[in-house]
Structure 1
Amino acid sequence: MLLQLDCLSTCLTSSGSVLFPITAGGGSLDCFSACQTMGYGQILHRHGNEEDRVHLNVGGVRHQVDPDMLLRFPHTRLGRLLLCQSEAAILELCDDYSPAEREYYFDRNPRVFLCVLNFYHTGCVHMMEELCVFSFSQEIEYWGIQELHLGPCCGNWYHERKDYIEDGDWDIRSDDQQHPSLDSSFEELSALDKDLAKFKGAWCGDLRSYIWLRLEDPGHSTASKIIAVASLSVVLTSIVAMCVHSMPEFQRVDDNEKPIEDPVLTVLEEICIACFSVEFIIRLIVAPSRRKFLGNPLNIIDVASILPFYATLALETADEEAAEENEDIENVGKVVQVLRLMRVLRILKLARHSIGLRALGATVRHSYHEVGLLLLFLSVGISIFSALIYSAEREVEHTDLGTIPSGWWWATITMTTVGFGDTCPVTPAGKIVATLCIICGLLVVALPITIIFNKFSKYYQRNKAMEGQFAESIDFMSSVIISTRTNRYQTDSQDVKDVFFSRSSCS
């Protein structure tokens, strides 16, 4: 025992380096070979005596721990701490270390460390209900403890609570790969405050902020509501005119049997396009950030609904000039028809006035994993049942299911429970396959649809709440701007009065 103590006193210096004492009997040489197999922390805390225990200071709370208990889990942070070969290695694992007191300091939560310390005693992690699961998860990850060590009494509750909070989190993990789209209310309100702040000192900042607030927030004032109703009326009028244009009663032909536009519908469409163009230009001029404005999906929809009209007008003008010069422009008519069909994109302008449509867009954007899973399930099912129905119906004369590609159409409308009835099996085997296809289609479609519907409900409720928060934030910022203008006006008036009275006194 004395030999071992002498060895420990000679093996270590203040810097932790190993010396080579020469003593009789070669005892220290045996001790040195043992020291080589132990870490720096193990040598300091070799015995079970009170003075040789591991001294831990976690967030100001001191603990004395048996080193053998920590070495039961060598892959944890405290276990690796005792296996360090130098003070530099120790400082990589703790925030501070006192060689004189042999105390390790950690700037961590002392309450969570009680659960960590209990883990070394029992081998299982038990958590307190009042602790945040994400904070607790970060803490045990810091201490090198895996979630697999959670006790059965706490494991199920911990994972259920963690999954529940993750489902309610608007910053879904799958969106980390996308460009930040301001999906959290805090970021949206912060962006709104930044946009309003950009008007200060800008060109015509007061006028631009006045117009911008009334165009962006329909509930800001009576003028904002009137503008929103007028914009919505123009959108609905344009959609109705586009639908009426397809009716035979409103289709006309000229003397050469060439279809021409109805003059009333043409004028109505030109008025709507003029309103759309003026609104877009005004929004672009008064926007606090034009780059951000042009990248907004709603504004991209506005551009996509306006451009087809001008492109069609340009192509028709070029076609008329070419006809006068007896030149041939191929496929101009087809291009014009395609551009006219793109007018249907005006329906998407309703998203600016509809919470439900915006929630639907956010749901689709954040549910690409679920949508991909749904398409994968459908593709597998369609491939399987199209082959089965081909095997069951191929010997029937004049059947519509005589090939596997024709079975794709039948399997698609059957699995999605549409069932047009244009193609159906006639053999008993084919009807059995159809029954299985319907049942599998219900199961395949129902599973991802439930997840997508839950996300839609969350985004819809969130958007409704955000509209109220936006209105409150805009009202607050408007009051700040108005008060600033009032103070500035009062200050300027006082300065004028001071100058006037000073001149009067001088005279």
Structure 2
Amino acid sequence: MSEAGTRATLRARAYDLLARDDSGPGARAVRAALVLLIVVSVTAAVVKSVPQIGRAHGNLLDLVLLLTTFGFAIEYGLRIWIAADNPGAAGAARERLRYLFSLPGLVDLIAAIPFALAPHLGLNIDWLDIVPIFKLLRHTAAFQFMVEAVYSERRVLGSAAVLMLALLVFQSSAVYYFEREAQPDKFGSIPEAMWWGIVTLTTVGYGDITPVTPWGKIAGGLTAVMGLCMFAIPVGIIASAFIEAVRRREFVDTWNLVAKVPLFRMLDAARIAAVAGVLRARRAERGERLIRKGDQADAMYFIVSGEVEVDQESAAPKGRLGAGDFFGEIALIAERERTATITALTACRLLVLHKDDFERFMDAHPDLKQAVRDAAQRRLKEINAA
């Protein structure tokens, strides 16, 4: 293999480990190590801020921060290198520039700078040691769902924001006119009154500024009540959009699982979605037997997460199946006994397609019966030949 080909292969492997969500145990181990590095770095920065601990163990904590910063610098360099392998990349240089100026890229850059040395250089910027906490957002799906939810409802949220801004300006102006003579030091201008307006509309109520005139108190009470109503609007919108984003992601994952089954490959996207709609969720604990050899087959299984062991109870070695795999599809098309015992090696999340549900699906789509029968016969021939 040429030197360029070797570099491309190494870069593809590094991309799988750092950027893909479904690359197996190696990628999971790398992500766990990166999360641990972030936790250690942020913990050291937080503990160092305690005066007694900072004075007694400052040098040790600085060393920990420098070591974690070195790890972040290596990760940053690797992410620049692998950016060329992003899906749909228009060019290596363009993709790398896109990463450098993206929000995750800027966070990675800041995390790779040794700000722990700043106090020794007379600079008061060591507070940036806490920035690596934002790197955790890359490793949590909840943040991605939140971004998707806000983006999908951006127009509605924008309208709600305009309404809330108008209410803030109006209520702050009203209280300013009611209170400016009684409390000129606290309500000396409309901008100063806006601090009170924000605190009251959000129903936080610090108590540092409060109306004292009768009209001011009435305006304050109305502001608090309207704040409850106004903030409930964006909260409800975001919550609904967040749940919908989670459901969309789960549906896509389920759709992809079903599309991998040879029996369903000839179905169009809408039919596959219909099959995915009749799947039932199931959880299995570690050591739980899912299928026993010799039992009558009545369902097939999709593995969403976890691992299972396949034991044919013969001289053949035991096998393993993991997330994205499936087993038992022959139960849908033939009256057969199970040919292996399958046991959960870890806690598993499964999707189950029962034979009865599948038959009802076929009855509801009679135009597919012959196509599925043909695919079933081909699949049985493949299994018998093996």
Query: Is 1:446 the counterpart of 2:242 in the alignment?
Result: no
**Equivalent of 1:382 in 168, 190, 194:** 168
Which digits, 9 at most, give the CA deviation of each residue in 1:243-280, with x for residues without a partner? Answer: 11211123339xxxxxxx81111111111111112123
RMSD, aligned CA: 3.6
Distance 1:453 1:412 in 2: 22
Distance across 2 between alignment mates of 1:250 and 1:236: 18
State the partner residue of 1:272: 68
Unmatched segments (≥5 aa) in structure 1 = 1-200, 254-260, 320-332, 475-507
Per-residue deviation, 1:469: 7.4
By relative contact order (CA 8 Å, sep 6+), the higher-ranking structure is 2
Identity of aligned residues (%): 23
The 8 Å contact of residues 69 and 114 in structure 2, kept in 1 or not, is answered as: no
CA distance in 2, matches of 1:299, 1:464: 27
**Alignment coverage as a number of residue pairs:** 251
- For residues 81-110 of structure 1, the C-alpha deviation after alignment (integer angstroms, 9 at most, x for no partner) is xxxxxxxxxxxxxxxxxxxxxxxxxxxxxx
Higher helix share: 1
Normalising by structure 2, we get a TM-score of: 0.55
Name the structure 1 match of 2:145.
359
From the superposition, tell whether residues 217 and 361 of structure 1 become closer, same or farther in structure 2 (CA, over 3 Å).
same
**Change in 2 beyond 3 A, CA 1:343/1:358:** farther
Point out the structure with the larger strand share: 2
Q: Could you tell me how far apart the structure 2 residues matched to 1:308 and 1:280 are?
A: 9
Counterparts in 2 of 1:209 and 1:460: CA distance versus 1, 3 Å: same
Matched with 1:236 is 39
SS at 1:310 equivalent: coil
What are the superposed Cα offsets for residues 266-310 of structure 1, whole Å, 9 maximum, x if unpaired? 111111111112123233334425432552499742443443663
Query: Is the contact between residue 108 and residue 132 of structure 2 (CA under 8 Å) also seen in structure 1?
Result: yes
Q: 1:219 to 1:202 in 2, by over 3 A?
A: same
Aligned counterparts of 1:408 and 1:235: Cα–Cα separation in 2: 38
1:250-329 → structure 2 map (5 Å cutoff): 250-252=53-55, 262-287=58-83, 288=85, 290=92, 291-296=94-99, 300-307=103-110, 310=113, 312=115
Instruction: Note closer, same or farther for the CA distance 1:280–1:404 as it changes in structure 2 (3 Å cut).
Output: closer
Q: Closer, same or farther in 2 for the Cα pair 1:210/1:393, shift >3 Å?
A: closer
Structure 1 residue 395, shift from structure 2 partner: 4.2
Alignment of 1:29-428 (within 5 A): 202-252=5-55, 262-287=58-83, 288=85, 290=92, 291-296=94-99, 300-307=103-110, 310=113, 312=115, 333=122, 336-338=123-125, 340-396=126-182, 400-428=186-214
User: In structure 2, what residue type is equivalent to 1:389?
Assistant: V
TM-aligned CA distance change 1:309 to 1:220, over 3 Å: closer
Per-residue CA deviations over 1:454-502 (Å, capped at 9, x if unaligned) read 222222333455567789999xxxxxxxxxxxxxxxxxxxxxxxxxxxx
Find the aligned partners of 2:127 and 2:156 in 1 and give their Cα distance: 30
Match of 1:330 in 2: none
State the AA in 1 paired with 2:12: S
Alpha-carbon distance between aligned partners in 1 of 2:55 and 2:115, rounded to the nearest angstrom: 19
Structure 1-normalised TM-score?
A: 0.43
Instruction: Note the C-alpha offset of 1:353.
Output: 1.1
Q: Which runs of 5+ in 2 are unaligned?
A: 87-91, 261-386
Q: Which amino acid aligns with 2:228?
A: L
